[in-house]
Structure 1
Amino acid sequence: MKRFYLFYSFLIVIACKEAKSLTADEIVNQAIEISGGNLYAISTISFDFRDKTYVSKNKGTVLERIFKSDSLNYTDIKSNIDFQRFINDIPVTVSDSLAQLYSNSINSVHYFAQLPYRLNDTSVHKELIGEATIGTTNYYVVKVTFDQKNGGVDFEDTYMYWFNKETFKPDYLAYDFHTDGGGVRFRKAYNERYVDGIRFVDYENYKPRDPKETLDNILDAFLNDRLELLSKIELKNINISFEN
């Protein structure tokens, strides 16, 4: 019996060491695997967000936004090469500044819809900075920054993700931003569902009551009711088709 307890204690020690030895990349990879894995790379994903339809093709290298305004049909296409707008299927020219603005907006919607898959983009740097407890659930805390090259105009933004230590799902995220006066946002995932094997969630989107709150203390602000609900990020009519 004594040998059994010694062996059992040994296994606990080994398990704890293995848990502590996880890297940010390993945590994110497990999160991606549990959320859909390689299905992201072989699928076309479409969904409605507010009054627009979004489509992701070719491993996310072609992103579309489709909507109607003043009885005209708009299709915006952002690729790794350029941005193109079509009105009633006719290509139109937009200024470079508007093309950048539209591209950023399209990329942002697709980015959040395809988390955690997009955390393995080439411009992303990940760092495990600690652990946290929210309610009775334990989390890994991963910090994400971006290269200036391929990181978009918001490359200076910093993100924090809270990955459930049991499921590896990112239940919470936060980020700071520097455009439009800057600020911090905190998001809580809800309404989890799987569509053809790919995980999707909606988000409660919070902002600090006090603009002096920082990304470093945003979780404490959330836990102590110093945030207010700003909006809800809801995806509707999700459809998946698998590419050849």
Structure 2
Amino acid sequence: MFRNALILVVLLSFFNCKEEEKQTSSPESAEEIIKKSISVAGGDVFESSDISFDFRDVQFKAIRNNGKFELERQFLDSLTEIRDVLKNSGFERHENGERVELTDSIRSLYAASVNAVHYFSVLPYGLNGKAVHKTYLGTKNIKGKDYHKIKITFSEDGGGEDFEDEFIYWIDPTSYKVDYLAYSYEEVDGQGFRFREAYNQRMVNGLHFADYNNYKPASSTIKLEDLDALFSAGELELLSKVELKNVKVEHLN
């Protein structure tokens, strides 16, 4: 009797291990999944493109030409026309057509703000950089559908000022589109979290774009990896909508 019980325990342990392995491994590596996701979104077309869109009454424009880039935003502040430009050589601000001098701290703040909008606008493009590290976290079911769950971290060297930020992407194993993403970031009083649900996914002249429902958790004492479970349980608060309007894409080559 004891022997049979022991065999049953061993078998249950074996199957539990196999189930855990199923959840944390994949025939494809995280690197391969991200590569396919970028390809589906437009791939090399991003590298030679002129993209423009409106976001929250601000005009954005991104020119990427085989390693060279100019990321712009333009808006009216009272009676002053502001044009911010982030490019390979650094950041510039122009007011009514005239370049203005900025302190290093303000320049960094504005540059980060411009870069953030452009970065999110073309995801998952950009996740193939040398400073990007990818970890496969298994599969996760959200709204009755299984997804590859991949964590993204960055090296300090080449990872930008916010290299400590962490991301998770939930990628459809069939279409390889990013249907959900989440990230953590440093705040003055601790760590912040966001969870985004993609909608209005569309192709514009060969490039993929999406709008997002932008959620936040009620508490900051959580783990980034748990945001999908909180979303499924209806425990995230809808904070805003991230919508790109009037999206236009031109191919440079």
| Same fold at TM > 0.5 | yes
Structure 1: unaligned runs, 5 residues or longer: 1-15
Q: Deviations over 1:193-235 (max 9, x none)?
A: 1110111000111001223222021111111111100111000
Identity %: 41
Post-superposition offset of 1:122: 2.8
**Partner Cα distance (2:220, 2:124) in 1:** 28
Post-superposition offset of 1:126: 1.2
Task: Quote the residue 1:193 is aligned against.
Answer: 202
**Partner Cα distance (1:147, 1:123) in 2:** 5
**Partner Cα distance (1:136, 1:226) in 2:** 17
- For the aligned residue pairs, the C-alpha RMSD in angstroms reads 1.6
Structure 2: unaligned runs, 5 residues or longer: 1-21
Amino acid at match of 1:100: S
Q: Does 1:140 align with 2:148?
A: yes
Q: Secondary structure at the match of 1:165?
A: coil
Q: Deviations over 1:8-36 (max 9, x none)?
A: xxxxxxxx9xx932111110111111111
Range 121-130 or range 63-72, more displaced: 121-130
Post-superposition offset of 1:62: 1.7
Q: Secondary structure at the match of 2:226?
A: helix
Task: Quote the residue 2:12 is aligned against.
Answer: none
Identify the match of residue 185 of structure 2 among 159, 163, 177. Answer: 177
Report the TM-score when normalising by structure 1: 0.89
**Partner Cα distance (2:247, 2:112) in 1:** 22
Q: Does 1:53 align with 2:62?
A: no
2:195 touches 2:216 (CA, 8 Å); kept in 1?
yes
May I ask how many residue pairs the two structures share in their alignment? 227
Q: Does 1:241 align with 2:247?
A: no
1:54 touches 1:66 (CA, 8 Å); kept in 2?
yes
Q: Does 1:79 align with 2:87?
A: yes
Amino acid at match of 1:193: R
Task: Quote the residue 1:39 is aligned against.
Answer: 45
Task: Quote the residue 1:96 is aligned against.
Answer: 104
Task: Quote the residue 2:237 is aligned against.
Answer: 228
1:210 touches 1:226 (CA, 8 Å); kept in 2?
no
Post-superposition offset of 1:61: 2.5
| Bigger radius of gyration | 2
Task: Quote the residue 1:216 is aligned against.
Answer: 225
